[in-house]
Amino acid sequence: MLMQRVITALVLLPLLLAAVWFLPTAWLYLVFAGAGLLIAWEWSALMQLPSAARCGYVLLTAVLLTMAWVFRIHWFWLCVASMMWWCYAAALVRTYPASFASRAPGTAAMALIGQLLIAPTILALAVLHSGGAITDVHSGPLRLLYMFFLIFAADTGAYFAGRKFGRRKLAPSVSPGKSVEGAIGGLLLCAVWALTCGVAVFFGGVYAPLGRLAAFVALSLLVAAISILGDLSESMFKRAAGVKDSGTILPGHGGILDRTDSLLAAAPLMALGLFLLKL
């Protein structure tokens, strides 16, 4: 299993880096939209839809992703809608399983949640890649890569800190393996990432006003924290559906949703935060 995970990562990571670095934003949006359709397919399985309905849900996702691109000038409000969902998701995770026992999302609600996961994220990735102005021909791949590795730092720091110091469970009813100490370790590594590579990417590696630097680090830590929520949220829905993995498309990793759950929460917030900070 470990060897499968390593091989899959070694194949996919260079492809992802090449796509982010070399593709124009419009083409990158198309690539990410393809991944979004796979996520929709896996999400429809968590909804326990029959095959025909699952195909219909993927088709609906394709239509909404197309509309999101056509009306991309309004990306800000789509990301705001996404953040409203994640605020509610935090409450669901905190009170699970009682939250599902009393008000489990029905099919229509699950369908809406899936779209709030997918479309805002794909559009936010394009916004980040374009340097904040999605109509700009100059892309900003380093901004997008910064966020990808920020999420990776949160996950890596949490893994090693959790193994070494983990005592208190973060959300035992949702993901028993995650600890408070692990989450703190992940956030500390993200702070280091923000103060080093983040300064280089967003401030040109030169002196940054203390207030703006503090706001940027705070944003990075908030994005890292919500990426953890994204992971916990997907675990909650998988538990409710009685499945271990969202799919089998990635050997050793499970499904696309399993690998992007943190990103689904982090990307819209990162795009909104950078816009509000004028970075």
Distances (CA, A) of 48 to 44, 70, 110, 172, 211: 6, 31, 10, 25, 48
Cis peptide leading into residue 97 (ω within 30°): yes
**pTM confidence score:** 0.92
Average pLDDT rounded to a whole number, residues 45-57:
93
CA–CA gap between residue 91 and residue 228 (Å, rounded): 14
Q: What pLDDT score does 193 carry?
A: 96
- Over residues 213-269, the pLDDT tens digits come to 999 999 999 999 999 999 999 999 998 888 887 776 765 557 889 889 999 999 999
**Dist. CA 124–CA 210, nearest whole Å:** 27
Higher pLDDT, 135 or 98: 98
Looking at residue 251, its pLDDT comes to 59
Q: Output phi, psi for 25, to 5 deg.
A: -60, -40
